Amino acid sequence: MQIYLLDLRTLTPSHRSRKTARHLLLGEALGISDATGIALNPHGKPYIPGSEVHFNLSHGRDYTALAIHTEPPGVDIEAIEDGNANAAKLMFTQEEQEWIAQEDSVTRFYVLWAKKESIMKAKGLGFSLAPQSFSALDHSYMPTECFIFDKHMVACAAQNSFEIERIIVYEHHGTDLRERKEIPRACRFPGG
């Protein structure tokens, strides 16, 4: 799996939209110049009909994330802020709530939340799959991996075991995207 991040802060204010970010990342990573070749499944997950390349997008506060894989991936990016205990009670299983409470509850909250959303997206179901109906701690349910970058939690999921091959961060300069950096393996969240 490959992950591409676009720093939205490098876009001009008039171009800081999900549509522009999606267009720029899909153009850079897949050579798609517009959305005409993209279809949506019944739950709103985008795909390219007849293609063996699968992708998923997520929009966070300062970044848009794109995951590309040989099977349908899910990706989620969340700005790390103080966790919401009420959301934890509504969205997480009892086991997950106990795991969050053990230590560094804010980071653990976002690990689980991003993993859950990436799983729901990889399955192609979005929120029609209730978040509290499965545990993101159970790697046999669906493999996930996550990392922290610039105060954002990024998680990805796919039906079968996978490894993140590359994580590339882009900035927008004029009309072009330029690679700012590749995130080394050592910077990824321990235990994924």
Inform me whether the pLDDT recorded for 118 exceeds 80.
Answer: yes
What's the pLDDT band for 26 if we cut at 50, 70, 90? confident
Contact status, residue 168 vs residue 3, Cβ threshold 8 Å: yes
- Judged against a pLDDT cut of 60, whether residue 192 lies above it is answered with no
Tell me whether residue 53 is in a domain.
yes
CA distance 3 to 55: 10
Tally of domains in the chain: 1
For 42-69, the pLDDT digits (tens) are: 888 888 888 888 999 999 999 999 999 9
Kindly report the pTM of this predicted structure: 0.89
**Token pair of 147 as six digits:** 């990392």
Neighbours of 70 (CB within 10 A): 12
| Closest of 147, 125, 16, 128 to residue 76, by C-alpha | 147
Rounded Cα distance, 181 and 169, in Å: 5
Q: What is the domain range of residue 177?
A: 2-187
* Structure tokens belonging to residue 12: 């001009």
pLDDT tens digit sequence for 135-158? 999 988 999 999 999 999 999 999
Do 39 and 50 form a contact (C-beta atoms < 8 A)? no
Condensed to tens digits (0 to 9), the pLDDT of residues 78-107 reads 999 876 667 777 899 999 999 988 887 888
User: Domain holding 38: CATH number?
Assistant: 3.90.470.20
- 């997480």: which residue's tokens? 92
Q: Give a yes or no: residue 106 inside a domain.
A: yes
Answer whether residue 192 is part of any domain: no
